[in-house]
Each structure stands twice: as structure tokens, then as C-alpha cells.
Amino acid sequence: MTARTTSTLKKTLGALTVTAALASPALAGGTKLDIQSAWPLTMPASGANAAYLGEKLNEASGGSLDVTVYGAGKLVPSLQIFDAVQQGTLDAGITSPLYVAGRFPAVQLFGGIPFGPDVLTHTGWLYEGGGAEIWSEIYAEQGVKTIPCGLMDSEAGGWYNFEINSIDDLKGKKIRFAGLAGEAMAKVGASIVLLPGGEIYPGMEKGIIDGTELSMPAIDITLGLQDVGKYYYLPGWHQPAAMNELIINMAKWDSLDESQKTLIEESCKAVNLTSVLSTLTANGDAIATFEEAGVEIKSFPPEVLEGLHAAFDEVIAEQTTKDEDFKRVWDSLEAYRAKTAAWSERR
């Protein structure tokens, strides 16, 4: 090979390298974004949403973003995701606002509301009724960006090894519940026990708890609760709809350009649709499996729901009195429900 040929070849290869780098931004390395889910990536809806989001962001960003998604506990414990994101040791997380309700009581209203609106109205309030803006403002004060990301349909009323025919049947029973619903249950006499998901099955099996709520049938079946629970109550009263969240360290969020921010926000809307649709048939299949296993499917009597509703009203009155942010969020929700009632209550 002559010196002239070698020189020409080097120039050609150099030009091809530059062209390839321009045509495929991924080769130059996109903005790294590590996201940890609070749930296993194999869990229907909640966990699968994180995997779906990462896949879509990598596909649609054209290499502008380099997203890696981790399952529950891979980088930090699930209940520490908010702290890790806040401190910047983790870029982002998909989790539930219910997990930080002890520190910021108001945000649990975004995650799910006992006797609250259905999926459509809840989502409408967030996107059209100002809910998401208040949510963002509360988190921004903590150095965290939040985006609604993981719409969930109604949860089941829970698993019980005793029948609930009156409000008195709940008195003294040890029940795994949390949040505002747990406070309402406590007011009617239940003994509320906080257990992580992995301890629910053995807790029911050994009689440590008499009942538990977890999620919707498609998720409940992943724990095999049909083997340890006698009665399954449908529908749930404590969470007619829920919204999980994508939280991002604010400094990381501010480092992104506008196209990247828009892509993330719009991809989370796609997650919401995919999430709520993905469990419709799975929920029906799960209930059929429960019945085949001998579980008795029951509904809460009106008297029980009335008692729980009255207890929940007491909880709301207490929270709105002592927490300014809680009152702001609750007032926003109630205003939206009033504006849409003429249609939503007739659907």
C-alpha cells in the first residue's frame, strides 16, 4: 500500500467516524439517568411501568438519554428512594408518594384517596385541575422534581380471615393497612400493623395479622395470598384510583435540556395509559384463580362503608386543620370534583 493510499484511507475513515457520530448521538454518549423502581420490575403495573419507561426513553431520545432502570432494592432500599434522590446519590426513582406521607402528609392525596374519585377524575384533577402543580411545588421545596407516572386502577378491599358484617367486626382485629385509610380503620377500632410486602404472606399464615390490603388482584396474586386468606373483599374503598410518581433530583432535572424534559413528561403519560390498561384482563383472571382456590369473594356491607366513611371524614378534618399543605391539596381536589360532578357522577 502506497503512502498516498494510506493517507487517503485515513481521511476516509476519519470522515466516516465523524458522520457516524453525528448520525447516532448514542455513540457520543447521552445524558446518564439511573432510575430505581420501588417494586420488582416483574410486578404487574407498578414494577413493569419502570421497565417500560426506561425502554421508551432510550428508544425515543435518539441517544440523548442513556437510561438504566433498576428493580427494587438494587441500589437503595425501596423506602429510601426519596432520600437518595433528594441527596443526589440516585438520579431518579419510580415510587409512591404514600411512602413519604409521614414526612409530607399532603402528598398521599396524590397517591390515592379513600372514598376518592375514580381513575379518570383523579387523573383529570392532576393534569387539568391544578393537582400536579401543587404536587410539584411541595416537592420542589425538597430539591426533588416529581412527575405523575404510573396510573393505577382501583385496589381491592383486602384479604381477611374473618367476615366483616358490621363495623364492630373490625374492632381489635390486627390488620395491615397504612396512610389515611389506616387512620380511618384505627378510628373504628382496628389495630393497624405496618408490614413490608414480603412479610404479608407469613403474617397471614401465622396469624400475626387477621387481614391485609395490598393492591389490585393482578398484583395480589403475585404473593399467593389466595393460599392464606379466606375472604377477599371487592371493590376497595381506600383507593379507587392511585398515581405513582417519577422523582428526579432537581439538580439533575435542571441539567436536562427542554426536549429531554418534555420527552420524560410525555413518556410518563404513555406509562399512565399503558399501566391502567395492562391490568384489566389480569385482574379478572386473578379473581377467577382466587375463586378456584376456594376464596370467598365478598363486598363490604353499606353499614361498614358508612362507618369507615365517617371515620375518614374525621381524619380529613384533623389533617386540614393542622397541615396547611394538606388543606391546600384537599381544597383543590374538592373544587375539581365539584366542577366535574354534573358529568362525572352520571357516568
239 annotated ligand binder? yes
For residue 167, how many C-alpha atoms fall within 13 Å in the half-sphere facing its CB?
Answer: 16
347 annotated ligand binder? no
214 annotated ligand binder? yes
Cβ–Cβ under 8 Å, residues 164 and 296? no
Residue 36 pairs with which residues in a beta bridge?
A: 70, 93
The DSSP line for 278-327 is HTHHHHHHHHHHHHHTTPEEE---HHHHHHHHHHHHHHHHHHHHH-HHHH
* DSSP 8-class letter at 152: E
Residue 339 pairs with which residues in a beta bridge?
A: none
Residue 132: name the closest of 243, 215, 55 by CA: 243
314 annotated ligand binder? no
Cα(21)–Cα(274) distance, integer angstroms: 34
246 annotated ligand binder? no
What one-letter code names the amino acid at 87? Q
Return binding residues for Na(+): 214
Binding-site members are 155, 176, 213-214, 239
The binding site for substrate comprises 155, 176, 213, 239
